[in-house]
Amino acid sequence: MFFSKDLPSPTSFFTAYASMAGYMMMIRSMAHQLIPGPVQDFIYSSLHSLLFRSTSTTLTLTIDDDNMGMHNDIYQAAQTYLSTKITPDTARLRISKGHRDKHVNLYLSHGETVNDVYQDVEIKWRFITDGGDKKGDEDGRSDYFELSFDKKHKDMILNSYIPHIETKAKEIRDERRVLMLHSLNNLWWSSVILDHPSTFQTIAMDDEVKRDVIDDLDRFIRRKDYYKKVGKAWKRGYLLYGPPGTGKSSLVAAMANYLKFDVYDLQLSSVMRDSDLRRLLLATRNRSILVVEDIDCAVPNRLEQQQLGEGKNCDDSQAPLTLSGLLNFIDGLWSSCGDERIIIFTTNHKDRLDPALLRPGRMDMHIYMGHCSFQGFKTLASNYLGLNDTTMPHRLFPEIERLIDGGVITPAQVAEELMKSEDADMALEGLVNVLEKMRSDESSPVMKKKESRLEMEEMRVRRDTEGSPRKSSKSIKKLVLFWT
């Protein structure tokens, strides 16, 4: 083969290339040894930005899990929100389920992406896990999301899209939330899952009363800014009163299921001092319902306290439980420790309560839980026997309507009779027999005494709610509103 004398031979060419490559490797090795890693990264990123700044229009936001030693709320919201945006094309997912979770939870795995569209803007999410998971050491692990979009939409992303994610994440968490029932155990809260089936659709109450309660709950939930503006703690109080077995506990469960609130069952008989009560109530969480059952039996009224001289010579840590201590947590300074709280007192004897418990601002709504009406019976018949009076009323419904009118039986007693048989005819015939027996006993001295007490209660409720004894007795069992 012929080679020109002016061109180097292939041997000399490869020799020169090998020498140059050796020098470059030596220089690179020296640079790695002499120049610190962060400086190298800075030089690389600076060169990268200079080379591509003029052509790239994409902005990427990094959302880390760690926020100065605390959890980043935006990270938590993004993780929850993106769990609903996973598509069948996603190749790898993380799966988890806690003891309070109803279903398994799916999250993005390392390197997986999710595309989203908001206000016609295309948005790309990418999940990155860097560090400790490669070595099995979680201490060095760093998890974060990359949120990429066109730079011109930066203000919209920060001011609209991120708040949208937080709102949606809250709705998703509320939907997935498992309610808990907290009760006292050695003056501390112990918790179990609250799985009570009661709802406003299944509870035996007058439909108008249900609507009033639901409207009041909705009004309370959406008025956070209003409570703050007027300088009041974001809380609301309810008093449920009436004979035993009229559905007070079921109403509490229905309210908890409707609002997705935890329930704290406070047995005041187990609390000996005001300081213990303060510690317990400060340990309750937001978005919760505090229930104090049989309040008339739990706390001595002010007259009894004055007669006993309780708390005169005791310091705060040793002062016994008092009515004033309880009231201070209802609407005193301590009432502002927490948001979105509902306090419910129940009693069988409203007339025994200290008037200080009943004034507006403490118990905002008074709900009389009376005997079972025909409307309440129809709800129970639908629940237990699957009967629906709108299509084909049962032949015994007119007889039951005649016998049940006037407040002779409680919802609990009706439910007990309906549960005795799955056959609708047998169950309703048994209920008719019970109602007839109750009606036949009305002339007895015991029943007359009960009727007299019921009439006095109705007159008192009529006086409290309507200001006139001439109002119809039908409205007596409806709730009493005390708007603050």
pLDDT in tens, 257-266: 999 999 999 8
> What is the pLDDT at residue 231?
83
Return the ∠ at Cα 323 (arms to 302 and 261), rounded to 5°: 150
Question: What CATH number does the domain located at 180-368 have?
Answer: 3.40.50.300
Q: Are strands 180-184 and 262-265 parallel, antiparallel or unpaired?
A: parallel
Q: Are the C-beta atoms of 372 and 414 separated by less than 8 Å?
A: yes
**Is the pLDDT higher at 217 or at 307?**
217
Look-up: residue for tokens 């993780």? Answer: 79
3-state secondary structure string across 103-145: CCEEEECCCCEEEEEECCEEEEEEEEEECHHHCCCHHHCEEEE
**Is the pLDDT higher at 309 or at 95?**
95
> What is the pLDDT at residue 32?
67
Each residue of 439-468: pLDDT tens digit? 887 655 555 555 555 555 555 554 454 444
> What is the pLDDT at residue 479?
44
Per-residue tokens: 468: 């006139």
Average pLDDT, the chain: 79
Q: Are strands 189-193 and 288-292 parallel, antiparallel or unpaired?
A: unpaired
Kindly report each contact of residues 315-318 with a partner whose C-beta sits within 8 Å and lies 24 or more positions away, as own/partner.
316/274, 316/275, 317/273, 317/275, 318/273, 318/275
- The confidence band for 135, taking pLDDT boundaries of 50, 70 and 90, is very low
Between CA 395 and CA 304 the distance in angstroms is 55
Q: Are the C-beta atoms of 245 and 411 separated by less than 8 Å?
A: yes
Each residue of 367-381: pLDDT tens digit? 999 899 999 999 999
Where does CATH 3.40.50.300 sit in the chain? 180-368
Whether the pLDDT of residue 72 is over 80: the answer is yes
User: Looking at residue 161, what DSSP letter applies?
Assistant: I
What are the angstrom distances between the C-alpha of 475 and each of 34, 247, 461, 462, 465?
89, 18, 10, 8, 9
* Burial of residue 1 (number of CB atoms within 10 Å: 0-12, 13-18, 19+): exposed
Closest CA to 252 of 240, 243, 242, 236: 240
Element (H, E) at 308: helix 302-308
**pTM score over 0.75:** no
> What is the pLDDT at residue 37?
65
3-state secondary structure string across 53-112: CCCCCEEEEEEECEECCEECHHHHHHHHHHCCCCCCCCCCEEEECCCCCCCCEEEECCCC
Between CA 207 and CA 71 the distance in angstroms is 44
List the single range of 44-58, 90-104, 146-160, 276-290 with lowest mean pLDDT: 44-58
Q: Are the C-beta atoms of 176 and 84 separated by less than 8 Å?
A: no
Q: What is the mean pLDDT of residues 300-314?
A: 47
- The confidence band for 95, taking pLDDT boundaries of 50, 70 and 90, is confident
Return the ∠ at Cα 326 (arms to 200 and 337), rounded to 5°: 75
> What is the pLDDT at residue 224?
86
Whether the pLDDT of residue 470 is over 50: the answer is no
Between CA 414 and CA 432 the distance in angstroms is 10
**Is the pLDDT higher at 483 or at 406?**
406
> What is the pLDDT at residue 468?
40
Per-residue tokens: 445: 């001295």
**Is the pLDDT higher at 304 or at 61?**
61
Q: What is the mean pLDDT of residues 137-142?
A: 59
Closest CA to 427 of 418, 436, 435: 418
- The confidence band for 330, taking pLDDT boundaries of 50, 70 and 90, is confident
**Is the pLDDT higher at 176 or at 117?**
117
453 contacts: CB under 8 Å, gap ≥ 6: none
> What is the pLDDT at residue 286?
87
Rg of the Cα atoms in the chain:
35
Taken in order 335, 341, 346, 349, is the CA torsion positive or negative?
positive
